A and B are shown apart, each in its own frame.
Chain A
């Protein structure tokens, strides 16, 4: 599990540089989120452009990330495709997160309210 972190003003972007967020990689994923949470940024964008597969465990880990980042940090997602997009829609998790088509849109589209 690899993740690279960047800051754009107040916004932290996390690029998941691994193809699968699944049962085999959720522990590592959670560890990395925990590390990113330490700076308590007001907003985090999880960039899933390199991720091709998220199973139900991975979905749970992304929900866990939202909780781990706490109520003062907003977690948004960007660039979901294929199976990743499908799993969010099937489980209606696309109603829980703000999901942007790309990182540019996520960075320029401030959270509403």
Chain B
């Protein structure tokens, strides 16, 4: 369980470090945290970047569980609703373009969907809830 104040991306770093510490203190290996950190970084960055002002006033609540190689987490925040295309169906931004047109963004959800076995988003009242599951 972790509370985060995502006022900026430095807060996201601190949150990731805190979760990593808890993870290691529970006796798990750093290598098992690799995919977890990648997914949490993208999800938290997304909230910090797109959540709007209400994200500043109330914390993101992260509940996570790890057992026998299966990581699951629920991230709740009171920011703006996630944009409509939360789980992309394509293979991420297109790269078969001229160098000057190469994408510099749009990778985050692709990374999440590639690494996670389950991704579920729902909006309840004024809260976003993102549930993810992955095997390390």
Contacts and interface: CB of A to CB of B under 8 A. Distances in A.
- Do A and B pair up? The answer is yes
How many interface residues does chain A have, given as a range?
20 to 34
Interface string B33-72: 0110110011001001100000000000000000000000
A96 B93 CA distance: 13
B48 A23 contact: yes
A92 B105 contact: no
Interface in A48-88: 53, 55-57, 59-61, 63-64, 66-67, 71, 82-83, 86-87
Contacts of A96: 95, 102
Given A55-B38, A91-B92, A60 B107 contact: yes
Contact of A56 (B12, B37, B45): B45
Tell me what chain A mostly uses at the interface: helix, strand, loop, or mixed.
Answer: helix
A24 B8 contact: yes
B9 A23 contact: yes
18 contacts: A23-B9, A24-B9, A24-B13, A53-B37, A53-B41, A56-B45, A56-B105, A56-B106, A57-B45, A59-B107, A66-B99, A83-B38, A86-B34, A86-B38, A91-B92, A91-B93, A93-B95, A96-B102
